Amino acid sequence: MSKFDVAVIGGGMVGAAIAIGFAKQGRQVAVVEGAAPKSFSPEQPLDIRVSAISEHSVSILEQLGAWDAIKQMRVCPYRRLETWEHPECRTRFHADSLEMDQLGFIIENRLIQLGLWQQLEQYQNITLYCPDRLDDIEFGDTNRIKLASGTELSADLTVGADGANSKVRQLAGIGVTAWDYRQHCMLINVETQLPQQDITWQQFTPSGPRSFLPLASLKSERGETPQGSLVWYDSPSRIKRLAAMSPAKLREEVLAHFPQELGDIKVLQSGSFPLTRRHAQCYSSDRCVLVGDSAHTINPLAGQGVNLGFKDVEVLLEVTQGKGALSDELLRLYERKRRPDNLLMQSGMDFFYKSFSNDITPLKLVRNAALKIAENTGPLKAQVLRYALGLK
């Protein structure tokens, strides 16, 4: 049975990042993942799952050595962000206000994972168990980990980076506080008639927000085709009807319900999922620690999910750097540093979401006035933007 300092269950974006970080500390690391990311070629259609990566997350990826590989594939920088309900009451953010080249990048999740894997495979002190998955854990001072393949290994620390339905979390007996938003979210990749854009925007409606995220243009023999990702929040029944439509019919619905800023489109592909919020009741137990979606999920309203996960990685590596034993005290310190920030972001997104997703007339007047006022708050608006981007 192989012995490791750290076993990371889940080799997605956050799991691969924490594995590299622990390997850089000189620790022996195992990574267990069900499937390796598919290799990249420029003509591939863009994936449905994308993330708005903040500049702070970019700096973390740079420290892990993965950013160069990621940006050489497909990334789409954005410099502007707008949000509104009534067209005349908008809050606008611009990279120039923070003296930045861009606010962040819209990137396919798979390409972030792939860039991290290219770096991960360079470390001799990382052992990949792929394809494989966690079967069981026998807890002790050193955890004995059983994989579905029959392989067994031991680790001083087990990291749960295996997503919202984390088996590590379940086996460790860590409960969650969770609720359903009673809404679903539809992602729609489109080809846009408008040229490549540098803005992401969001319009609120009583049934939920409508959002646009610019994507990298797809390169082909015909040249470059500008693309975007649309996000449509609505009731489960409404999203179910939309998901059953043909691309042509779905295009008609999009053009009827999205603001005119979108312009004409061609629907390429779509997918949907329910909106839920989860927060682990603690982040560590029985020599296991949770990171990313295993510890917390958030309304995807502002695209902050993976950014919070990368901040988990940053802090867990920070508190363990230069330490020999990965003690329970260090894991508690990690939680004390991360729980308040994760909870604040969850609660902030919930407040914003619930405040706008209704048709109560007095509240509509107040929130539109608030957006109008926010547009002219100068330094305060800049500080809010800095916090959202994970900047100090």
What per-residue confidence (pLDDT) applies to 208?
A: 85
Classify strands 265-280 and 199-203 as parallel, antiparallel or unpaired.
unpaired
What per-residue confidence (pLDDT) applies to 383?
A: 59
17 to 75, 121, 171, 172, 368: CA distances (angstroms): 18, 12, 23, 22, 40
Q: What is the C-alpha separation between 309 and 298, in angstroms, rounded?
A: 11
Residue 104 bridge partners (DSSP): 54, 78
Could you tell me the pTM of the whole model? 0.91
Core vs surface per residue 202-238: b (16+ CB within 10 A) or e: bbbbebbbbbbbbbbbbeeeeeeebbbbbbbbbeeeb
Residue 82 bridge partners (DSSP): 92, 201
Q: What is the C-alpha separation between 62 and 17, in angstroms, rounded?
A: 11
| The amino acid at 276 | T
Q: What are the φ/ψ torsions at residue 237 (nearest 5 degrees)?
A: -65, -40
Give ∠ CA 380-384-386 in degrees, rounded to 5.
115
Report domain extents, the chain. 2-48+108-179+277-356
Residues of the chain with pLDDT under 70: 220-221, 301-304, 348-392
What per-residue confidence (pLDDT) applies to 376?
A: 55
Which one, of 159, 179, 119, 215, lies nearest residue 33 by Cα? 159
H or E element in which residue 269 lies: strand 265-280
**CB count in 10 Å sphere of residue 39:** 10
Tokens in use for 370? Answer: 């608030």
What per-residue confidence (pLDDT) applies to 367?
A: 43
**CB count in 10 Å sphere of residue 72:** 11
Residue 92 bridge partners (DSSP): 82
Q: Note whether 76 and 216 are within 8 A (CB).
A: yes
| The amino acid at 32 | V
DSSP 173-224: T--EEEEEEEEEEEEEEEEESSPP--EEEEE--TT--EEEEEEEEEEETTEE
Tokens in use for 318? Answer: 């920070």
Q: What is the C-alpha separation between 106 and 63, in angstroms, rounded?
A: 19
Q: What is the C-alpha separation between 258 and 184, in angstroms, rounded?
A: 17
Residue 179 bridge partners (DSSP): 277
Residue 77 bridge partners (DSSP): 105
What per-residue confidence (pLDDT) applies to 136?
A: 98
DSSP 131-166: S--EEEEE-SSSEEEEETTS-EEEEEEEEE-S-TT-
What per-residue confidence (pLDDT) applies to 388?
A: 56
Radius of gyration from C-alpha coordinates of the chain: 21
Residue 46 burial (10 A CB sphere; 0-12, 13-18, 19+): buried
For tokens 């693309």, what's the residue?
227
381 to 300, 326, 347, 375: CA distances (angstroms): 21, 40, 19, 7
CATH 2.60.40.10 fits 2-48+108-179+277-356, yes or no: no
Q: Note whether 160 and 312 are within 8 A (CB).
A: no
What per-residue confidence (pLDDT) applies to 363?
A: 45
